[in-house]
Structure 1
């Protein structure tokens, strides 16, 4: 069940540390196992980077 529920969490803004803790493993395992499922939201991230640089 957790493998079906977990992948969208980082995509909607839940910090990877919290996702990993809830799943019972470390961030490195989270990123290795679920990296292909995480939608990075490039447009949103680009906007945030632009705001930080302004």
Structure 2
């Protein structure tokens, strides 16, 4: 019984860590994407003038 409980806690902890890693990855990709989009819009703006 105790082993089951420990396994469950371990599983929960791993899920939380995986979620945190996913969150960090999403934030990183989002920031990268925003920077690229802003650069792109800036280039298009320069091209028009």
TM-score (norm 1): 0.26
Higher helix share: 2
Instruction: Tell which has more relative contact order, 1 or 2 (C-alpha 8 A, sep 6+).
Output: 1
TM-score (norm 2): 0.27
Max radius of gyration: which structure? 2
